[in-house]
Every structure is written in C-alpha cells, then in structure tokens.
Structure 1
C-alpha cells in the first residue's frame, strides 16, 4: 500500500476535515479525496463519514488508526535506519549478549572505528534469543552469543573457549550463589554435583551475582576471564576439587559474500578476541 494513503488518512483524522488535511499536506482537496477513496477500496470498507462540520471516523476507521500509525512509523524508522551519516559509505549492524558487551563488543567497535572509519555501526545489546531473532529477520548482520542457533545461510564460529569455574570469597565462603548460565550448564551441574542448585540466592545475570558475592561473601560458578583478576588479587580463590564447565562464546553471522565490509569486520573481531583484555562483566 502507498504509505501516503496512510499518512493522508491520519491527517484527516487529526484535523477532522478533508480541506484541513489538504492544507497540512500541501496538496489539493481533490487529491486528499482521491487518496481516501483509493484507501477505502484497498481495505474494502468506509473509513470516514463526511458532513457539514467535516469528517468523522466510522467504526472501521477507528480500528484502522492503529494500523495506519504503525505503517507510517515503521516507514519513518526504515528511512532513518537506511540513510547513512555523512562521511560513511556503508553500515554494519552487530550485537552481543549483555554479559559479552564488555570487553568483546567494546573492543570490536573500537577496532572498527580505527580501521574501518567509513563504516557506520549500529550496536545492539540484548539476550541471545532476541539477538538471534533479529539476525534471522535481517535486522542484524552478526551477533556474539553463548548459545547459537543454526539457520540456513548463516555461519556459526566459536570465538572463545570460555569456562565456568567454582570460586569463593576466602574470608567468607557462604552463602551458596547459583547463577543460571543456561540449560546446558544446569544439565551438567545436576549430573555432576551432589548438592542441589536451589540456593538461597539465585541469579540470571552473572555480573550482578559477582558483585553481590564480592560485597557480602559466598561462593558460586563464574566465567574464568571475569574472575581471573579477582583471583590474582586474592579477593577470590578457586574451590578445591570442583568441576569446571564449558561456556564457549560463538559468532553467528550472515554470509559475507555480498558484504565485503562484514568480512573485514569479522577479521577485526577475531583479532580483538585474541588480545588479553580485562573482562569486567
């Protein structure tokens, strides 16, 4: 449907007359009438009742308001997203899970700014399910996640061999903290460890659990790269004879054949993950 039809419909609704809508849209009243007639033919119902005082919505017209508003807003968002900023020749849309934005996504964006200055960058930090859905629908070009999905036409590549290790505060190793690192971790945990995972303190965000433990004491499973500086400083220590669990990081991306900029960007990501950056989350 021509987006101008929806825009004209909303203007008539707003001002309450075809004449007023024509003035605001800088077109003739005949054009407004023709557009509304075309729209009513498309949706197969009457949207306005015209009278001496102007025009009012029918019941069907009231129902159509939400759809017309969504159409216009979506179109405006699409134009804003597609338009490149001055000095940029292309755009990359990349995402990462909340627990991976620092330092992985941060360092990747910094690398792109330095080595690919002509590329406009859109970043998205969210949960894995949301990111993978956006990737599948074409709203993102590449995402960094712990649990990938396998789609036709997409590539899945392991970036890092991360592990989850059992650590504790040396001076106060209680209470037990359980962090939900996903279904694979919970299945492995239940199969290996004798103690139940129904701890007094449970979290679905590792950084929050770590801050609580460092502040108040306790023990739990955390990612190796995140706890490494705390182990070196003595704030934390490994729990002896505790098993380790794998928690790798994956890159999922669309085919690079039609996008050489993405190919270069992914090479940059591989470079930055090999650097020994401090992990803060």
Structure 2
C-alpha cells in the first residue's frame, strides 16, 4: 500500500477538511480527493462521511486509523535504523511511564547516554499497555515497568526496588498533629494498587489523581495533602522540612524491571545498557 495515501488519510482525519489537508501537504485539493478515492478503492470501503464542511470518519475509517499510524511509525523507525546503520551508530529506544521518568530515570539517563556515545536514543513516555504493544511490535527496545508482562516473548530483568513513602505537606498539619486527609493518588501501577488498598485509609478524599510524580509533589507543596512518592525523589523536601513522612502509614516497596524482546537481534547491547541501569540504581 502506498504510504503517501496513508499520510493523506491521516492529514484529512486530523484537519477534517480536504482544503486544509491539501495546504498542509502542499497538494491541490483535487489531488487529496484523488488519493482518498484511491485508498478507498484499494480497501473496498468508504473512509469518510462528507457533509458540507463537516468530514467524519466512517466505522471503517476509524478501524483503519490505528493501523495507519502504526504502519507509518514503523516505516519512520525503519528509515532511522537504516540511516543509523550507515553511520555505524546504534539507535535504542527506551520507554517508561511519565512518573518513572520524572522520579527515577531522569537522574540516571543522562549518565547512561554519556557512557554510550556510540548510541543514539529515543525516549518515550508510555503506559504499561503501550509499552508492551510497542515491544511486541519491535517499536521499542527496552521498557521500564513496575508491572511487566509475563510472556515468553519478553525477557525481564529486575533493576532495583523503589521505596514509596507516604508523605504529607507540613503546612497542612492539624493542631492535633494529624496529617491533612486530602489525598493525591499517584498511579504507580497495579502492584501498587494491591498493596495500597491494604494499608491506606479508605476515608481519604482523593483530590487529585495523576500519573505525574512531579505534579503530585508540586501539588503537595502548594495545595497541601498527602501522597505516595519515591523516597529519593522527596529526599530534599524531607531534609528541608517542607514534607514529612506519615509515620502511621506504612511505606510500600515495588520491584522495578527492564523488559525487552527475547529474540532481539542486538541483545548484548541491551544487556549492557540494563547493567548500567542496575549499577546506577543501587
């Protein structure tokens, strides 16, 4: 299938307007219409419903959308890999959730990149499902996860243990010394949820639910409340006294894993990167 047809399909879907899509693609509007007709003829379905200036995807068009995105993403990755092979550089992609990037990986990624000058990097913020899908589709080399997929196709290596502390904003202490009951829930994955439900009070009022550790910490410091955050991530605030641990609430420990495809053709490079990650997490 001609990838230019898929690019045109995605641009029309994005702009919902043939004229604007033509401008963005530096084509005439008739050329855009012709490409969409070609794609519809090849697939044997209608992709858009046209009502004056209101263009909507048909059910078939909606089903095509993720496939078109995946195909073009895979093509872009192939081009990058070919270019890097010509330059004798290895490109590796590393994916993790936003809160892991902010609270755990950022301090170690820059030394990792400096230690591997022969590697070019692509980093992505992905949830667990997207990480697993991209690993299996060969779009991601290493995923850093608390809840790794259990399949023979993926190799798992434990990196470290992350200690999550229940902490509270000091300015929100009650007169009796009890912490503010307002709660900021940070999404640390399903294993966290299982342990969390055993220990944390159900009467906590969840005022913020987020997948960003940085946002949660800023929320506590400015708005008050409490949350589970990695001990190292809040060490400066604990030392300064702007955050305090909730002594009556237990801390939680989660295993952090690196995951990669078992049959990956450049396993030695991946394993070398993982060993460095293990070294710097200790």
Asked if 2 retains the 8 angstrom alpha-carbon contact of 1:136 and 1:151, the reply is no
Q: CA RMSD in A?
A: 3.9
Distance 1:109 1:192, change over 3 A: closer
State whether structure 2 residue 275 is matched by structure 1 residue 267. Answer: yes
Taking the TM superposition and a 5 Å limit, the aligned residue runs for 1:230-269 are: 230-255=237-262, 258-259=265-266, 260-269=268-277
Asked if 1 retains the 8 angstrom alpha-carbon contact of 2:77 and 2:139, the reply is no
Secondary structure, in 3 states, of the residue corresponding to 1:227?
helix
Report the Cα distance in structure 2 between the residues aligned to 1:219 and 1:16, rounded to whole angstroms: 55
Report the Cα distance in structure 2 between the residues aligned to 1:43 and 1:236, rounded to whole angstroms: 59
1:179 deviates by 0.8
Alignment equivalent of 1:211, drawn from 218, 226, 236: 218
**Scaled by the length of structure 2, what TM-score is found?**
0.66
Q: How many corresponding residue pairs?
A: 233
Report the Cα distance in structure 2 between the residues aligned to 1:270 and 1:184, rounded to whole angstroms: 21
Counterpart for residue 125 of structure 2: 125
Distance 1:145 1:178, change over 3 A: same
Taking the TM superposition and a 5 Å limit, the aligned residue runs for 1:2-13 are: 3=2
Counterpart for residue 19 of structure 2: none
1:245 deviates by 1.8
**Scaled by the length of structure 1, what TM-score is found?**
0.66
Question: Which deviates the most, 261-270 or 135-144?
Answer: 261-270
Counterpart for residue 205 of structure 2: 199
1:161 deviates by 1.2
1:201 deviates by 0.9
Report the Cα distance in structure 1 between the residues aligned to 2:192 and 2:44, rounded to whole angstroms: 54
1:144 deviates by 0.7
Counterpart for residue 14 of structure 1: 31
1:227 deviates by 1.8
Radius of gyration: which is bigger?
A: 1
**Which ranges of structure 2 fall in alignment gaps of 5 or more residues?**
10-26, 46-59, 174-179
Report the Cα distance in structure 1 between the residues aligned to 2:148 and 2:236, rounded to whole angstroms: 28
Question: Which deviates the most, 235-244 or 75-84?
Answer: 75-84
Question: Which deviates the most, 109-118 or 227-236?
Answer: 109-118
Render the CA deviation track for 1:251-277: whole Å, top value 9, x for unaligned.
Answer: 112237731222222222222222xxx
Distance 1:80 1:213, change over 3 A: same
Report the Cα distance in structure 2 between the residues aligned to 1:226 and 1:109, rounded to whole angstroms: 15
Distance 1:119 1:196, change over 3 A: same
Report the Cα distance in structure 2 between the residues aligned to 1:134 and 1:269, rounded to whole angstroms: 21
Asked if 2 retains the 8 angstrom alpha-carbon contact of 1:175 and 1:217, the reply is no
Distance 1:136 1:108, change over 3 A: farther
**Which ranges of structure 1 fall in alignment gaps of 5 or more residues?**
22-35, 46-62, 275-281
Distance 1:254 1:75, change over 3 A: closer
Report the Cα distance in structure 2 between the residues aligned to 1:103 and 1:178, rounded to whole angstroms: 16
Secondary structure, in 3 states, of the residue corresponding to 1:184?
helix
Asked if 2 retains the 8 angstrom alpha-carbon contact of 1:144 and 1:251, the reply is yes
Report the Cα distance in structure 2 between the residues aligned to 1:16 and 1:127, rounded to whole angstroms: 36
